[in-house]
Amino acid sequence: MAEERLDILLYGHDGRGLGHVSRSVAVGMAVRRLYPNLKVCLLTGCRRTGELIGSADLDWIKLPAYDTEVVDGRSTGVDGPAGFSDRDLGRFRAEQIRQVVALYRPRLVLVDHTPQGKHRELVEALQDHRPDMTRWVLGMRGVVGSVAQTRSDTAVELFKAWYEALLWYGDSSVLGSGHMARLASLYGIEAVECGYVSRLAEQGEIVQPAGYRRYGCTVSIPWFSGDTAVFFKKLVEAVSMAGPGFGRFRFFLGGDQYQAISQQLQGLDFCSAEPFGDQYIEALFGSRSAVIFGGYNSLVDILSIGIPALVVRRGMADNEQHEHLDALLASMKSRLIGVDESGCSVESLYRGLQSILEITPDPFESPVDIGGAEAAARHLFTML
């Protein structure tokens, strides 16, 4: 009798946002839903993975977490919550990942975003690679951006040496065909177009909306950069101008500044501040509008639910958020309104809030394909 082994290992690196892990979770949920007999596990250091999985039937292995800070639009590694430096964590995690792959002997590994993993932590596992044992697959978000870890000579060489397939988590009817063409030129292989990967779309079988559009707006600020504190003051003033006529505003705030920042809402009785948790999903399902930052994960959440949103673009060096949002704005018309975090005015924020709040909260069918998790799961199954 053959010895038991893992069918699929999903790897999503952690750091600043939740996009990499959220996509990995969504694909894992889809695999477990469609093929419940497969053995599937997620590997990541993200501290919020349990919240993302919720009650779904998906298990995961926790690595020590990285941490980052953003200065002048660039992410810089800092000591993680375990107290280890960014460099030491990369070294420790590389050996831990190698041991996980050697122990569980997955038939297939799906890696999100970078062929080498954050800080090259997949290299040791790749170098132990046996073609008859494990197949490696890379999944890329719709707009990759100018990310060095995806475009470097090292990344390309590793992909061509060890990876067999490339999945693209985008929709060419919205983003155009140029992104897939650039990936094909870079990696020397045609990508499989899957559509946008949405964790909430997968959780639709699990989460039941508690109240249809009973809140005015859900505001999501998962992390604070140097410009975010100034932006938040302007946003609070704009919310105060909008007033309570559209219903309650629920602010979800991440990071160490939660207590200090949330105090700025005192006196606005129609506003509440909460840390991120299970209530965030309930709030989104129950809101007529949202204010979000323009990361892949936050945008796809809004596309999944179909509510209008004011989308804040951060001034990140890779320019991914600006490029991605510009493409979506062309397809979503007035249901998405873009503003820049740095340099926006109270008046522009107020006008944006008024626009999204005044849209009739009827069900809206998004023109964007959000079935990427299921499409990816089906493709992985064919590879097995």
State which fold the 217-357 domain adopts. Rossmann fold (3.40.50)
Q: For residues 353 and 367, what is the distance between their CA atoms, to the nearest angstrom?
A: 23
71 burial class (0-12, 13-18, 19+ CB within 10 angstroms)?
exposed
Query: What was the pLDDT predicted at 89?
Result: 86
pLDDT of residue 335: 87
Residue 165, token pair as written in the block:
């397939």
Tokens 């132990």 correspond to 128
Query: In the Cβ-directed half-sphere of 326, how many Cα atoms lie within 13 Å?
Result: 8
Tokens of 348: 């522009």
The ranges of the chain annotated as CATH 3.40.50.2000 are 8-196+369-383, 217-357
Single-letter amino acid, residue 274 = E
Per-residue model confidence (pLDDT) at position 146: 65
Q: What is the pLDDT of residue 206?
A: 46
Q: Cβ-count burial of 87 within 10 angstroms (0-12 exposed, 13-18 middle, 19+ buried)?
A: exposed
Distances, alpha carbon 50 to alpha carbons 55, 108, 199, 308, 314, in Å: 9, 23, 13, 28, 27
Length of the chain: 384
- The alpha carbon of residue 18 and the mean position of all alpha carbons in its chain are separated, in whole angstroms, by 4
Tokens (6 digits) for 244: 């309570």
Q: How far apart are CA 244 and CA 265, in angstroms?
A: 13
pLDDT number for residue 317 = 59
DSSP E strands in the chain: the ranges are: 8-11, 40-44, 59-62, 67-71, 74-78, 108-112, 135-141, 163-169, 192-193, 217-221, 249-253, 271-275, 290-293, 309-313, 336-340
How far, in Å, CA of 171 to CA of 198, rounded? 13
E-only strand ranges, 178-334 = 192-193, 217-221, 249-253, 271-275, 290-293, 309-313
Q: Helix 153-162 to helix 178-187 angle, to the nearest 10 degrees?
A: 80
Digit-by-digit pLDDT tens for the chain (384 residues) are 467 899 999 999 886 667 788 999 999 999 999 999 999 999 998 888 888 888 889 999 999 888 766 555 555 656 676 777 888 888 999 999 999 999 999 999 999 989 998 889 999 999 987 777 899 999 999 888 766 677 888 899 999 999 999 999 999 999 999 999 999 999 999 999 999 999 988 887 444 444 556 899 999 988 787 788 899 999 999 999 999 999 999 999 876 666 777 788 888 999 999 888 778 888 988 899 999 988 888 899 888 888 899 999 887 656 677 788 888 888 887 789 999 998 899 999 999 999 999 987 666 677 889 999 999 999 999 999
- The yes/no answer on whether domain 8-196+369-383 falls in CATH 3.40.1010.10 is no
What pLDDT does 208 receive?
47
CB 309 within 8 A of CB 302: yes
